[in-house]
Chain A
């Protein structure tokens, strides 16, 4: 791993702002939650160049073990781990286990959506908006806005950190798999997510700054050991959609649902954070998303999903699948947290 912590000095004398991290900090492997996780954390610390190409990984003990194991295997494609060789990313043994876990996750979701009422008309954008509007899941944002304690809100931020510290990254995998129109529009969204060229305005850097200001640990992956299985599922589905070209329609449907359910909740979260006297850096992360996602929602629905399906009509159902999966998995996280808080 890159352990360079010195300031990045450009030949022209430009020095990067300290607020935007230039170095990839060390990420530790999480504590396993069952037999498969224990097997993987041991395997990943060995040398992949001498490891067998066929792995005798055990089956997961429970859904929690499966979810954390898949999260670990996906993470090899993002930043890797401190004491894990980067060569494991494309090793047949890890890929085989990853494929097995992904197949089970996708199959579970495909079975569930078969029982959901999904509109399938000729108007894709209208269908997607109908799915989004008819979602009646409980809202974490409204709870934070009105009732949540500081402890509950910090717990939510720690759960959110699993994704927000790599915000937008899973969707970047999709870019080279797209025709021209959705590709150009997706890049408009991603460029905005990545701060429009300003490293200090990158959305995941804004979240980092908010966490630090709030006295929380902003290190990548710091809170994965307390991540709920529902949160790991959300992250795993995003990574799976992003990493598989076959699932590009689902990845972009997920993006549309995520952006279309962000502006209003972000405003509620910002209000809640100010009600609880969180620092401005944390609240303003959500302010940014009120305005940004009002734009991204329109781009994702019309300029990305609609143009993708115009070019590749066979992907329409997977776009709907991605929308449904995003909403369904967020609802599970909300239910789990609100029940834990008896809210």
Chain B
């Protein structure tokens, strides 16, 4: 039993949450500082409130009406 193979995205926008990125990425932030991903799938902050920016730390869930 196997379902049709769907192509797996490299980047996923999670509703109300972060952007998932697969593979090694280097992100340059607003201050020009570079951040290299350390895991096979990384979550990039989209709410702007993460204390671990540019990575997601789950803070979006503390914002009212996040989803």
- Are A180 and B5 in contact (CB-based, < 8 A)? yes
List which A119-171 residues lie within 8 A (CB) of chain B: 126, 129
Interface mask (A252-264 → B, CB under 8 Å = 1, otherwise 0): 0000000000111
In the bound complex, how far is the Cα of B58 from the Cα of A293, in angstroms? Answer: 8
- Contacts A291-B52, A294-B58 given: A299-B20 contact, CB under 8 Å? yes
In the bound complex, how far is the Cα of B17 from the Cα of A180, in angstroms? Answer: 25
Kindly name the residue among A263, A294, A299 whose own CB sees the greatest number of chain B CB atoms within 10 A.
A294
- Are B41 and A295 in contact (CB-based, < 8 A)? yes
- Are B39 and A264 in contact (CB-based, < 8 A)? no
Question: A46 near B: Cβ within 8 Å?
Answer: no
Classify the interface of chain B: helix, strand, loop or mixed.
loop
**Size bin of chain A's contact surface:** 20 to 34
Nearest CB of chain A from residue B41's CB, rounded to whole Å: 5
Nearest CB of chain A from residue B46's CB, rounded to whole Å: 11
Residues on the B chain within 8 Å of A297, using CB: 58
Kindly name the residue among A126, A129, A191 whose own CB sees the greatest number of chain B CB atoms within 10 A.
A129
- Are B2 and A179 in contact (CB-based, < 8 A)? yes
Interface mask (B36-67 → A, CB under 8 Å = 1, otherwise 0): 00011111000000011001111101100001
- Are B40 and A191 in contact (CB-based, < 8 A)? yes
- Are A181 and B51 in contact (CB-based, < 8 A)? no
- Are A290 and B1 in contact (CB-based, < 8 A)? no
Selected contact of B3 from candidates A129, A180, A188, A262, CB within 8 Å: A180
- Are A291 and B14 in contact (CB-based, < 8 A)? no
In the bound complex, how far is the Cα of B61 from the Cα of A129, in angstroms? Answer: 10
Residues on the B chain within 8 Å of A208, using CB: none
- Are B41 and A290 in contact (CB-based, < 8 A)? no
- Are A196 and B40 in contact (CB-based, < 8 A)? yes
Question: A302 near B: Cβ within 8 Å?
Answer: yes
Residues on the B chain within 8 Å of A129, using CB: 67
List which A172-222 residues lie within 8 A (CB) of chain B: 179-181, 184, 188, 191-192, 196
- Are B5 and A294 in contact (CB-based, < 8 A)? no
In the bound complex, how far is the Cα of B14 from the Cα of A180, in angstroms? Answer: 21
Residues on the B chain within 8 Å of A298, using CB: 12, 14, 17-18, 20, 43
- Contacts A264-B59, A267-B57 given: A179-B52 contact, CB under 8 Å? no
In the bound complex, how far is the Cα of B49 from the Cα of A59, in angstroms? Answer: 54
Q: Can you identify 19 A-B contacts, CB atoms within 8 angstroms? A: A179-B2, A180-B5, A181-B3, A181-B6, A263-B57, A264-B57, A264-B59, A264-B62, A290-B52, A291-B56, A293-B58, A294-B56, A294-B58, A295-B20, A297-B58, A298-B12, A298-B20, A302-B12, A302-B14
Besides A262-B58, A291-B43, 16 more A-B contacts (Cβ < 8 Å) are: A181-B3, A191-B40, A196-B39, A263-B57, A264-B59, A264-B61, A267-B58, A290-B58, A291-B39, A294-B58, A295-B20, A295-B39, A295-B43, A295-B56, A302-B14, A310-B3
